[in-house]
Chain A
Amino acid sequence: MNDFLAARSQMALSLGFHIIYSCIGMVMPVFMAISHYKYIKTQNPVYKNITQAWSKGVAIFFATGAVSGTMLSFELGLLWPKFMEHAGPIFGMPFSLEGVAFFIEAIALGFFLYGWNRFNQWFHWFTGVLVGVSGILSGILVVSANSWMNSPSGFDYVNGQYLNIDPMRAMFNGAWFSESLHMTIAAFSATGFAVAGIHALMIYRKQNIEFHTKAFKIAIIFGAAAAILQPLSGDISAKHAAKRQPAKLAAMEAYFHTQTYAPLIIGGIPDTAAKKVNYAIELPGLLSFLVNDNFKQEVKGLDTIPIKDQPNVAVTHYAFQIMVGIGMLTMLIGVLYFIALWKKRSWLSKTWFLKLFIIATPLGFIALEAGWTVTEVGRQPWIIQDVMRTSEAITPMPGIQYSFYLFSFIYFTLSLAVIFLLQRQIKMVPELYDVK
């Protein structure tokens, strides 16, 4: 493994790890705040138990998210010093504000976790809300830093110099809105389905039914609503990507030849050498429609882009198929849930219905990782689109593969530890929170 590949893999690994914890850190406080609110309003102790049980899980996730985030803020420099040297002052604004948001989040979390029976209950509730709000805010901010890499703005690039830097314009770059929107919805959908799935499993096993049913409902309402909105926001993202990064769009679709009535290519195995996709379903005109809102207009294919500026087509295409496939599936499950809620109450306790959600537990997170793969691999070979190549950014220090192996081991161990701890939390629910 050469240093370049090792550095890219280490970056991908760390981000892919961090994103799971940060999504949970963004969304779980919202769920907790709702259950906490219900407790204050109804005084039903089940809601208090749910809030406390969740908050213990969140503390574990939060700690892991915080350390992996600290790691990332150094890793950007450890792996890509040349990138940070130029990009830091330009896309740093969201990071500075994010620092503020994290700080508030950490303070509010201290109040929330240790504040039971200590403060006015509404103040205590509010600190929980604050954890969620600042978590979501920091998510939006950091994604707008990432979107700057896709859609660089706020500076003039003249003869290798970065001039007229304007951090505010860099922060509100062309892609910040579509990316942040899509990411925030994704966080709700992924976390919602994951949490709901775990509680569905417990209902299925007939343990603490009341506790798990109430918890399930809070989680799935958000998850299902987000899953229904997700394809809409994904469509906005795709339109933006087509304008900004035609190479990325073409790679996502494995779309080799520029044509009018451009077909939407679903599935298949891209053959980059022969410039075609085998075994795919092609829906003529649909890609033109998705990108331009009419069936005829030409869409730029990979043939308009020099080979040296093309991303890896197969990886981007597969990742995109996985994301969209899961997006459609979770949307469907979301619709089914609302039908059950409003029209077919009897479904809610049926085994097949619970099984559906149990199976869906990891889907959102898989789509999330796939989506980031689309965004990041689709941007290659650029680290800053059309400005700086990833290969120019890498650290001169050799031997990065050893640090990659080390971190693979650490993240693997930590993931196992978190799963182990979570399992123990769930196992203890009957003993700690059994209110008959």
Chain B
Amino acid sequence: MLTVVIIFLFFAILLYFLLGGADFGAGIIELFTSTDNKQRTRSTMYQAIGPIWEANHMWLIIAVVILFVGFPDIYSKMCTYLHIPLLIMLLGIIARGTAFAFRNYDAIKGERTQMLYNNIFVYSSFLTPLFLGIIAGSAISRQIDFEATDFLSAYIFSWLNWFSVAVGLFTVTLCGFLAAIYLVGEATDEFDVKRFIKKAKVLNMAAFFCGGLVFLAAETLNIHMAHWIFGNPVSLTAVIAASISLILLWVTISRGKKQIARVFAAFQVSMILLSVGYTHYPNFIMGKNNKNLSLLTNHATSKTIDDLGIALLIGSLFILPSLFYLFYSFRGKTNHE
């Protein structure tokens, strides 16, 4: 059952990245859209994520619940040492979620209130994935010091370092890239399609750049990324697969096959996560002085893991088909409501 639970955990994190991440990305794109086109971006985006955005964010809850039920040690250590970035991420989630709902459901569409909602929405769309990335980066950065006694090294330097920040920026660009590719498939007229393709290109370049930044920043902490990624066959294969799918993605887009391009984009990002995840598995948190928290040893008793696994399996019988039907029903159609 432990394997089942771990698979669900990774699955939830991956889906949060692919679906929730694309939601963030949509806001990031809006942030970098010229004022003239903002309204167009917004309405395409609303079509794309309106019905599903609430569900997309449930993956985060599932991941958190799996962590605190199945891996309480890992959850409570993360919450302690990464308290501050988690708090900032939560602020982002609160601001973003409410601003998104408010701007659509405000009965009076006043210019100034809408401006306010928009601003909150786009900036928090940037902030949230930045800190998600920082948290993910910190978890594997070997900077969390479980023995630290002073405030700065226990609660600040655990996450404030070049590597974590670079991972944060990389996350932002990946989210934006994903969203741009999804929106290409969602847009209905030629002008918007062109616009989103251009955005996707820019963000693709930015992601390359930030990816390089991650490699460089890793060196400052004596983390040898190259060894992590090229040192084992699975990660290496995943990286190669990611590169190939990126090429295929641009080929399909230039041929106008927008739906297939989405699949490649999702595949590419999944491969990047797989390659990083696999090198560290089974460690979930890598702390200072080789104090690691591993999924295979720091888990709850087997009775709890069994019950959790059963709950997740039964739950997914209900969730996956209905979620699939939700996506299917609302794919690329205009809204009536």
Q: A70-B57, A104-B318, A421-B106 are in contact. Are A77 and B151 (CB under 8 A)?
A: no
Q: A92-B308, A114-B330 given as contacts; is B54 within 8 A of A106 (CB)?
A: yes
> CB within 8 A of B97: which of A67, A165, A410, A425?
A67
Q: Which residues of B are found within 8 Å of A113, using beta-carbon distances?
A: 51, 337
Q: A59-B101, A110-B326 are in contact. Are A167 and B303 (CB under 8 A)?
A: yes
- Cβ contacts under 8 Å, A74 to chain B: 64, 79, 86, 90
Selected from B60, B65, B97, B301, the residue in CB contact (under 8 A) with A96 is B65
Q: A84-B72, A116-B337 are in contact. Are A421 and B54 (CB under 8 A)?
A: no
| Chain B nearest CB, measured from A13 CB (Å) | 13
Residue of B nearest to A396 (CB): B80
Contacts of A168 in B (CB 8 A): 307
> Complex formed: what's the CA distance from A85 to B71 in Å?
8
Which among B98, B104, B315, B323 has the greatest number of chain A C-beta atoms within 10 A? Answer: B98
Given A99-B65, A103-B315, decide whether A89 and B102 contact each other with a Cβ distance below 8 A. Answer: no
**Known contacts A89-B300, A414-B98; A107 and B55 CB within 8 A of each other:** yes
Cα A410 to Cα B97 with chains together (Å): 13
| Residues of chain B at interface, number, CB under 8 A | 64
Identify B105's interface contact among A56, A76, A117, A397, CB under 8 A.
A56
Q: Which B residues form the contact surface with A (CB < 8 A)?
A: 50-52, 54-55, 57-58, 60-62, 64-66, 68-70, 72-73, 75-80, 83, 86-87, 90-91, 93-94, 97-98, 100-102, 104-108, 151, 154-155, 300-301, 303-304, 307-308, 311-312, 314-315, 318-319, 322-323, 326, 329-330, 335-337
Closest beta carbon of chain A to B252's beta carbon, Å? 28
Shortest A77–chain B CB gap in Å is 3
Compute how far the CA of A417 lies from the CA of B103 in the bound complex, rounded to whole angstroms.
12
**With A63-B97, A92-B65, A110-B51 in contact, is A428–B319 under 8 Å at CB?**
no
Question: Are the C-beta atoms of B79 and A410 separated by less than 8 Å?
Answer: no
Is the C-beta of A93 less than 8 angstroms from some C-beta in chain B?
Answer: yes
Shortest CB–CB separation between residue B286 and chain A, in angstroms? 19
Docked pose: A2 CA to B108 CA in angstroms: 43
Interface residues of A in 51-87 (CB under 8 A from B): 56, 59-60, 62-64, 66-71, 73-74, 76-78, 81-82, 84-86
Q: What is the minimal beta-carbon distance from B74 to any residue of chain A, in angstroms? A: 10
The distance in angstroms between the C-alpha atoms of A399 and B83, with both chains bound, is 11
Closest chain-B Cβ to A106's Cβ sits at a distance in Å of 4
> A395 near B79 (CB under 8 angstroms)?
yes
Give which listed residue, A56, A78, A86, A98, contacts B86 with CB less than 8 A. A78
**Contacts A59-B105, A95-B69, A103-B315; A417 near B79 (Cβ below 8 A):** no
By the criterion CB–CB under 8 Å, are B322 and A107 in contact? yes
Assuming A111-B329, A397-B80, is B75 touching A77 (CB within 8 A)? yes
A165, chain B: closest CB distance, angstroms: 5
B102 touches A71 (CB 8 A): no
Q: Within 8 Å of chain B (Cβ to Cβ): is A344?
A: no
Chain A residues with CB under 8 Å of chain B are 56, 59-60, 62-64, 66-71, 73-74, 76-78, 81-82, 84-86, 88-90, 92-93, 95-100, 102-104, 106-111, 113-119, 165-168, 395-399, 403, 406, 410, 414, 417, 421, 424-425, 427-428, 432
Further 20 A-B residue pairs, CB within 8 A, beyond A71-B94, A88-B68, A118-B336: A59-B105, A62-B101, A64-B97, A64-B98, A69-B61, A78-B79, A84-B68, A92-B65, A102-B61, A106-B58, A107-B55, A110-B51, A111-B326, A113-B51, A115-B329, A166-B303, A395-B80, A397-B155, A421-B102, A424-B106
Which residues from chain B contact A70 at a C-beta distance below 8 Å? 57, 60-61, 90, 93-94, 97
A425: B residues at CB distance < 8 A: 105, 107
- Taking each of B65, B330, B336, which has the highest tally of chain A beta carbons within 10 Å of its own beta carbon? B65
Q: 7 closest Cβ contacts across the A-B interface? A: A92-B69, A77-B79, A63-B101, A89-B300, A100-B315, A81-B76, A88-B72
CB distance from A308 to the nearest CB of B (A): 26
Q: How far is the CB of B118 from chain A (nearest CB, A)?
A: 15
Tell me the bound Cα distance from A114 to B105 in angstroms.
Answer: 13
13 contacts between A and B (CB under 8 A): A63-B54, A63-B101, A74-B64, A78-B83, A93-B307, A96-B69, A103-B62, A113-B51, A113-B337, A117-B337, A395-B83, A396-B154, A398-B151
A183 to B64, CA, bound (A): 25
A312 to chain B minimum Cβ distance, whole angstroms, is 27
A165–B55 CB distance below 8 A: no
Task: Specify which chain A residues have a CB less than 8 angstroms from the CB of B60 in the assembled complex.
Answer: 70
A110 (CB) vs chain B CBs: closest residue? B51
Bound CA span A31–B304, Å: 37
- In the bound complex, residues from chain B placing their C-beta under 8 Å from that of A118 are 329, 336
Asked if A100 and B72 make an inter-chain contact with CB atoms under 8 angstroms apart, the answer reads: no
Question: Shortest Cβ distance from A198 into chain B, in angstroms?
Answer: 15
A403 CB, nearest partner CB in chain B, Å:
6
Q: Which residues of B contact A100 (CB under 8 A)?
A: 311, 314-315, 318-319
Pick from B54, B69, B93, B329: contact of A89, CB below 8 A: B69
Q: A100-B318, A114-B337 are in contact. Are A73 and B51 (CB under 8 A)?
A: no
Q: Which residues of A contact B326 (CB under 8 A)?
A: 107, 110-111
A179 to B: closest C-beta gap in Å: 21
Distance from B248 Cβ to chain A, minimum over Cβ atoms (Å): 31
Minimum CB–CB distance for B159 against chain A, Å: 13
Our pick among A66, A76, A114, A428 for the contact of B108 (Cβ within 8 Å) is A428
Report the separation of the CA atoms of residues A103 and B72 in the bound assembly, to the nearest whole angstrom. Answer: 22
B301 with A165: CB separation less than 8 A: yes
- When distances are taken between beta carbons in the complex, the residues of chain B under 8 Å from A167 are 303-304, 307-308
